[in-house]
Amino acid sequence: MSEVPEKDPYEILGVSPLATQEEIRRAYRALVRRYHPDSGTEEASATRFLEIHQAYELLSDPARRRAYDRLHRERRGRRTTSFWWEVILSRQRLPALSEDQMVYVLVEIYPSKRVPVRRVPLNLVLVIDRSTSMQGDRLDYVRSATHHIVEDLDREDVFGIVAFNDHAETIVPSQPLTNREYVHSRISSIWASGGTEMLRGLLMGLEQVRRFHSQDRISHLLLLTDGHTYGDEETCIAEARQAGQEGIGISTFGIGEDWHETFLSTLARETGGTCVHISDPAQARRALREMIRGLCDIAVRDLWLTPRFPRQVRLESVFRCDPDVERLRPVGEEINLGALSVDAHLSVLLEIAVAPMPLGKHRLMQLELRGLLPDAGEEDRLLADLEIEVVEGAEEQPISTAIINAVNKVNLFRMQERAWQALEEGRREEARQQLEAVATRLLDLGETELAHAALLEAQRVAEGEEVSKRAKKEIYFGTRHLRIPEGGK
């Protein structure tokens, strides 16, 4: 997603918003001749061509054009909000059927240009696993990364450190960074021993975060671990969920290969945060630094998406699909999306089942998006009503490339999830087939390396061998961060 797709389809085709269908068609044809990749002209460009094609797809369909105009007007009128969005449906007309049908809704959220880029003070707590397995390289690199963080942070930032094994210890109580020497000396006192009981570390970390948690700071907990925790996963997730509702973010960093990717991902996503895989401990510093930089760049925080449905419509699942794929879980009817960075964008895909409805127009859902400006308590809100029309024998409708890409991405993530699940449940043959299917799809997308990894694992499964933990993490995180070529925005 290199450019901010604030592009107006009218602008792309170079026509007025009042243009007739005929004018739009003429403009499209002229542009195609110029930009088609096979046109042989100097201007030929696949991206530009797709962009033109998509703009035409949208504007040539009267229903979609009307919907766009309506949304666009609303957006224009709301230019003062700190974020804006684009809501795209996989189809707006459904055939009258006697069974449930599937509709996809893609919500793309961007920060507004006017958001001031002012750094909001951070309230950070680092929770470090210091169990025996961290001994050596791992803890050395984490300690060194922590020393660097202390130097990188500002004076107004608040910083604290908690370390845990079978019990937790506050190494540095949360405090403004006025005495860095003291903090450095405390970091050097962290040594490895004992087991991994994450809940204790998490609870003590959250306690420290809460001491300075307020509206004028970004509160965030960074958890670094290299292993499994036993028996307290559910409680950890419940705690994370609670923190998320208070507006505290959690990011998790898994070092090496022995940690549980689903658990650490879930922990982070409950707050709208992310989970990062650190395969080589030497990358710890860079990973932490990038995360903290992201926190400094927050444009909107506490983003919550609330879809409300009429009786005949049901939410099947929700995924974040950009910046990375993550299955989201609504709290009641609200979905925590965490924070939005200044130059980032966030996409959410909703999968919706629509029960049989009589012919005519119906409300599909109402969408509400709320978010807070990072430095003040000011809340912004966007609202949209989405409609569908049930018609007799609906004709083939073009599907927006953005939707296809998003669903494709989510689907790949699902396919590999299915593979691991089959494997866990001992259905090895199914797991093998599923991994091969993942590999095929990855190849289609030009992801040769990941495809290779998946094929190798399929082979291992076929030969009755254990799956490599490293490869599993590569595939799990690789498929979440796929760069599916954008069909132009």
Partner 1 sequence: MIQCPTCGEKYRPGTLFCSKCGTYLPTGGSPRTVTLPTDRLSDVPYTPPETGALEKEAPAEPRTIQVRVIETDREVVLPPASELLLGRRDPMRGIFPDLDLTADGGIEKGVSRRHARILQKEGKVFIEDVGSANGTFLNDQRLMPYLPYPLRDGDRVRIGKLELEIHFE
Instruction: Say if residues 399 and 415 touch (Cβ distance below 8 Å).
Output: no
- Contact at 8 Å (CB) between 280 and 297? no
Residue from 30, 97, 331, 383 in contact with partner 1 (CB under 8 A): 97
Q: Give the residue with the Cβ less far from partner 1, 218 or 407.
A: 407
Angle at 75 between CA 69 and CA 79, to 5 degrees: 145
Residue 132 backbone zone (phi > 0: left; psi -120 to 50: alpha; other: beta): alpha
25, 34, 228, 418: residue in contact with partner 1 (rule CB under 8 A): 418
Distance CA 455, CA 453 (A): 5
| By CB under 8 A, residue 319 contacts partner 1 | no
Nearest residue (CB) to partner 1, 75 versus 414:
414
Nearest CB to partner 1, comparing residues 248 and 403 = 403
Q: Binder to partner 1 among 67, 109, 124, 403 (CB under 8 A)?
A: 403
Query: What minimum distance in Å lies between the beta carbon of 221 and partner 1?
Result: 33
Q: How far is the CB of 437 from partner 1 (least distance, A)?
A: 5
456 interacts with partner 1 by CB under 8 A: no
Q: Which of 116, 440, 459, 470 binds partner 1 (CB under 8 A)?
A: 440
Minimum separation from the CB atom of position 269 to partner 1 (A): 20
Dist CA 199 CA 460 (whole Å): 35
Q: Which of 466, 461, 406, 465 is nearest to 439 (CA)?
A: 461
Sequence-ordered list of residues with C-beta below 8 angstroms from that of 66, at least 6 positions apart, any chain: none
Task: Candidates 401, 423, 473, 475: give the one binding partner 1 (CB under 8 A).
Answer: 401
Q: Choose between 59 and 415: whose C-beta lies nearer to partner 1.
A: 415
Residue 114, amino acid: R
Q: Which of residues 8-67 bind partner 1 (CB under 8 A)?
A: 37-38, 46, 49-50, 53
Q: How far is the CB of 212 from partner 1 (least distance, A)?
A: 44
Residues in Cβ contact with 196 at an 8 Å cutoff, skipping those fewer than 6 apart: 129, 131, 133, 164, 165, 225, 227, 228, 229, 230
Taking alpha carbons only, the member of 402, 380, 384, 214 closest to residue 299 is 380
Between 346 and 365, how does the x/- string for binding to partner 1 read (CB under 8 A)? -------x------------
Number of residues that bind partner 1 (CB under 8 A): 45
Stretch near partner 1 under the rule CB under 8 A, chosen from 228-236, 256-264, 304-312, 413-421: 413-421
Other beta carbons within 10 angstroms of residue 188's beta carbon come to 10
Residue 39 φ then ψ, to 5°: -70, -20
- Buried b / exposed e along 164-176 (16+ C-beta atoms within 10 A): bbeebebbbebee
14's tokens: 């170079």
Judged by CB under 8 A, which of 202, 451, 454, 458 binds partner 1?
Answer: 451
Contacts of partner 1 in 419-438 (CB under 8 A): 434, 437-438
Which chain residues interact with partner 1 by CB under 8 A?
Answer: 37-38, 46, 49-50, 53, 90-91, 94-95, 97, 99-104, 353, 399, 401, 403-404, 407-408, 411-412, 414-415, 418, 434, 437-438, 440-441, 443-446, 448, 451-452, 484-487
